[in-house]
Chains A and B, each alone.
Chain A
Amino acid sequence: MRSFLAVALFSALLLSCSDPQRLDPNSGGETTREDASLNSFGLPAPGLTNEQRRFFERGDSFFTQNWVTAPASTDARDGLGPLLNGASCSSCHVLDGRGAPPDPTGEQANLGLLMRVSLPGEDPVTGAPLPDLVYGGQIQDRSIQGIAAEAQIDIEWSPIEGTYADGAPWELRSPTYALSDLVYGPADPDLMISPRLAPQVFGMGLLQAIPDEALLELADPSDGDGDGISGRVNMVWDARLGQHVIGRFGWKANVATVEQQVAGAFLGDIGITSSLHPAESCTALQNECTEAPNGGSPELTDERLATVTFYNSTLAVPAMRDVDDDQVNQGARLFAEMGCASCHTQTMQTGVSDIDVLANQTIHAYTDLLLHDMGPGLADGRPDFNATGDEWRTPPLWGLGLIDEVNGQRFLLHDGRARTIDEAILWHGGEGQAANDMFQGLSADERAAVLAFLEAL
Chain B
Amino acid sequence: MQTYKQPITALFTLALLCSLLANCGGDNGPSEDQLAEAVQTYTTGVHASYEASLTSATTMDAAVDAFIGAPSETTLQAAKDGWLEARNDYGPTEAFRFYGGPIDNEATGPEGLINAWPLDEAYIDYVEGNGSSGIVNNPETYPTIDASLLTALNEQGGETNISTGWHAIEFLLWGQDLSVEGPGARPAADYVDAPNADRRAAYLAETSDLLLVHLEELVDAWAPSSDNYRAEFEALETTEALRRIITGIGELSRGELAGERMNVAYAERSQEDEHSCFSDNTHNDIVNNAVGIERVLKGQYPGFSGTGIADVVAIADADLAVRLITEVEASIDAVEAIPAPFDQHLMDGVSDDSPGRMAILAGIELLEGQTDTIVAAATALGVTINVT
Contact = CB atoms under 8 A, between A and B. Distances in A.
Interface of A: 33-35, 37-40, 42-44, 50, 53-54, 56-58, 60-61, 65-66, 68-77, 80, 86-87, 91, 94-95, 102, 108-111, 144-146, 293, 304, 407-408
Contacts of A77: 118, 273
Interface stretch (B41-49, B124-132, B303-311, B324-332): B124-132
B233 interface: no
A73 B277 contact: yes
Nearest to A315: B388
B289 to A, nearest CB: 15
B177 interface: yes
19 contacts: A38-B99, A44-B388, A56-B388, A58-B263, A58-B267, A61-B264, A65-B117, A66-B116, A68-B123, A69-B120, A69-B122, A69-B123, A69-B133, A73-B121, A87-B159, A95-B106, A109-B155, A110-B158, A145-B135
Residue with the highest number of chain A CB atoms closer than 10 Å, among B130, B158, B259, B270: B158
B268 A76 contact: yes
Contacts of A58: 263-264, 267-268
Contacts of B13: none
Given A35-B386, A71-B128, A66 B122 contact: no
B260 A60 contact: yes
Nearest to A111: B158
B341 interface: no
Interface string B234-252: 0000000001000100010
A73 B100 contact: no
B126 to A, nearest CB: 11
Residue with the highest number of chain A CB atoms closer than 10 Å, among B107, B141, B159: B159
Interface in B237-287: 243, 247, 251, 255, 258-260, 263-264, 267-268, 270, 272-273, 277-278
Contacts of A38: 99-100, 106
Contacts of B157: 108-109, 111
A86 B263 contact: no
Interface string B154-169: 0101110110000000
Given A37-B386, A58-B268, A68-B122, A94 B158 contact: no
Contacts of B208: none
Interface residues of B, number: 51
Given A43-B387, A108-B157, 17 more contacts: A37-B99, A54-B259, A54-B263, A58-B263, A58-B264, A65-B118, A69-B133, A72-B121, A72-B122, A73-B177, A73-B277, A74-B118, A74-B119, A74-B272, A76-B268, A76-B273, A111-B158
A408 B386 contact: no
A58 B261 CA distance: 10
A243 B130 CA distance: 42
B187 interface: no
A52 B119 CA distance: 28
A11 B387 CA distance: 41
Contacts of B119: 68, 74
B118 A68 contact: yes
Given A44-B388, A71-B128, A145 B270 contact: no
Nearest to A43: B386
Contacts of A109: 155, 157-158
Given A68-B121, A145-B138, A42 B162 contact: no
Contacts of A56: 388
Contacts of B386: 33-35, 37, 39-40, 43
A269 to B, nearest CB: 12
Given A38-B99, A293-B130, A60 B267 contact: no
Contacts of A86: 159
A304 to B, nearest CB: 8
Contacts of B224: none
Contacts of A111: 157-159
B263 A73 contact: no
A69 B133 CA distance: 10
A289 to B, nearest CB: 16
Contacts of A145: 122-123, 133-135, 138, 141
B107 A408 contact: yes
Nearest to A59: B264
Given A73-B277, A87-B159, A110-B158, A57 B259 contact: yes
B139 to A, nearest CB: 13
B50 interface: no
Interface in B194-232: none
B37 interface: no
Interface string B165-194: 000000000001100000000000000000
